[in-house]
Structure 1
C-alpha cells in the first residue's frame, strides 16, 4: 500500500477552488446503525445499516478581500452548494479519487481567534444528499 502525505489537497466549494486558503479538510460519511435484535438473536445484538450522512469540515485561512473566502461564504450562508475534495490537486485517477456532493452552508465564523493568532476559520457543513466517489 502506498503511503501519502497530504501536501496539495484540492478543496472546491460552489465550483470555486479554495485550496490556497485551506489548511485542513476532512470529509466524513457514515451510516446509522439500526438495532434489529430479537429474542431469536442468540444473545447477540443484530444491526442493519440505516440512513447515510456526511459532513465536510474545513479550516480556512481567512481572507476579507473582495471576491475571497469571507465574502464568498457570507453570500452562500443558508444555501445548498456543491463540493469536491481530492487528496491532491492533480488530475483525478485511481490514486487520486474525487469525492463530490452538496453541502448546506449552515454557519460561518467570520472572526475567530485570540491575540497573536492567525486569522483562520473552522467550519463544519452537513452533506445534503449523496456523496459520490469517482476515479475519472
Structure 2
C-alpha cells in the first residue's frame, strides 16, 4: 500500500510571488486530447492517439484587498501570461515534493465574491500556456 499525502501547506507561486499565505485549495489538471485514428482496418474498434496537451491551474484564495496584498498583486496581471510554480509542500523541492512549473494566462479575477459575515474568497481557474514541467531538483 502506497504512502498517503495530506495537503497541509502547499506552495503557490504566481509571477515570482509566493501566494501560499492566501491559498486554501490548489489543483493542476493536465489533459491530452484523444485524436481519433480509427480506420477501416481498425477491426470495428476505435483507435485513439494522444494529441495536444493542455492544463489549468485552479486555486481558491482567501481574498485581501489591503494595499500590497492579494488583490493589488493580481489586478495588474489580468490578461497577461505569467510563470507559476506549484508544490504539495512549502518544503524544499525533492523526490517527495516535486515542483510543477509553467505559465498561465491570468484570464479571470474576481475581486469581490462572498456572503454576509463570511471571508471573501476568490476561486480561479487559469489555462496553462505552453509546456508544464515536473522537476525534483
User: Which bin holds the TM-score, normalised by the shorter protein?
Assistant: over 0.9
SS at match of 1:40: helix
Q: Normalising by structure 2, what TM-score?
A: 0.97
SS at match of 2:41: coil
CA distance in 1, matches of 2:20, 2:72: 16
CA distance in 2, matches of 1:66, 1:115: 22
SS at match of 2:40: coil
SS at match of 2:71: helix
For 1:103, the equivalent position in structure 2 comes to 104
Gaps spanning 5+ residues in structure 1: where?
Answer: none
For 1:123, the equivalent position in structure 2 comes to 124
For 2:50, the equivalent position in structure 1 comes to 49
Q: CA deviation at 1:117?
A: 2.3
CA RMSD of aligned residues (A): 0.7
- Pairs aligned (count): 136
The question of 1:87 aligning with 2:59 is answered: no
For 1:18, the equivalent position in structure 2 comes to 19
Gaps spanning 5+ residues in structure 2: where?
Answer: none
CA distance in 1, matches of 2:4, 2:109: 34
